[in-house]
Amino acid sequence: MEQTNAFVNGSRFRPDDASGFYESYFQRANHPSRPLAFWIRYTVFRPQGRPDEACGELWAIYFDGENHRITAVKEVVPIGVCSFSTTQLDVHVNGATLADGALHGRAASPSHAIQWALHYAGHESPLLLLPKSLYGGGFPKAKALVGLPNAVYTGTLTVDGREIRIDGWQGSQNHNWGSRHTDRYAWGQVAGFDNAPDAFLECCTAQVKLGPFWSPRLSFAVLRDEGQEIALNGLGQAIRASGAYDFFTWNLDAQAPQVRVHGRIHAPASAFVGLAYRNPPGGTKTCLNTKLASAEITVERRGQPARTLKTMHRAAFEILTDRTDHGVTIVA
């Protein structure tokens, strides 16, 4: 299904609105074979009823699984030094830029600094995690899509003065926005499996609070493999699907009459970094974030042999929670 640039990457931020709002454009990629990854996010945030406190944010994380080191930075800047195009991918946050095919910038915290000069390319169409009809309405409060699945990155990343050459790292350009964060979720993505380099998976299991009650867990999955897109993302399918997770392991099982996608995404606690996500209505959520998770995903198509896709350390895996007993240090 063809999507317009405005629908995929046009900003939903309106400066004259006082409602709570967040919007993020993030890029992530993994080294083709080594346990190395980066995640860079450009964000606008506006607290409910306080439009004068709207701000821009730059986030950057480098995951170095070889040396068991995660470097994370976050920088908050005034909204006046930010701009977000409503018609195309054209983002500026305090001198950092993001456009179709390129991103440049720098973010620093008191202890660390990360600078990036990257180009990316790809030929795949955007991927919608939700049915398209849900992107325009009030439910869910948070929307997410992949602007460019299986993007290939080149350039340099400089982490605390050390230059890292990025050459053929595979990942994605992503866009999400909403009036509040989903109350609880597990989210995963694989841009190229070790034994299926062209496959791409986007999935989530989520719960929202409706007054004093919790919704059932809804699990969505979209897999591109062997030239086909398997979209198990209808609301009925999401309710029937199974998604069970703790802080560091997630088991997912989604199916339709002709196909079933099931498997596990997991990583040790040491592979995660803790991030504090402010929520537009108030309060803060904790995001446990790794880009070095393992994944084993089995695809069963009626009349065909089962096919298992695997990656040792190229899966993105995040948990959003209010709990504090996870043992992961919050660093940004």
Q: Domain holding 162: CATH number? A: 2.40.370.10
- Whether residue 197 has a cis bond before it, omega within 30° of 0: no
Percent of the residues in the chain that have a pLDDT greater than 70, as a whole number: 99
Regarding beta strands 196-207 and 184-193, do their DSSP bridges make them parallel or antiparallel, or are they unpaired? antiparallel
Q: Is residue 303 part of a domain?
A: yes
Residue 59 vs residues 85, 114, 158, 292: alpha-carbon distances, Å? 19, 9, 14, 18
Residues 290-318: tens digit of each pLDDT = 999 999 999 999 999 999 999 999 999 99
| Predicted model pTM | 0.97
Q: Domain span at residue 172?
A: 19-321
Domain assignment present for residue 25? The answer is yes
Residue 196 has phi, psi (to 5 degrees) of -155, 75
User: Residue 5 domain-assigned?
Assistant: no
pLDDT digits (tens, 9 = 90+) for 225-280: 999 999 999 999 999 999 999 999 999 999 999 999 999 999 999 999 999 999 99
Q: Give strand pairing partners of 170.
A: 30, 152
82: part of which helix (H) or strand (E)? strand 82-84
Is 186 inside any structural domain?
yes
Instruction: Tell me the pLDDT band of 138, cut-offs 50, 70 and 90.
Output: confident
**Residue at 156 is within a domain:** yes
- Please name the residues in contact with 114: beta carbons below 8 A apart, sequence gap of 6 or more: 40, 60, 61, 62, 71, 73, 106, 107, 108, 157, 158, 159, 160
User: pLDDT tens across 38-86, in order?
Assistant: 999 999 999 999 999 999 999 999 999 999 999 999 999 999 999 999 9
In a domain, 11, yes or no: no
Neighbours of 178 (CB within 10 A): 19
Number of separate domains in the chain:
1
Contact 44, 25 (CB under 8 A): no
- The answer to whether residue 194 is domain-embedded is yes
Residue 316 forms part of a structural domain: yes
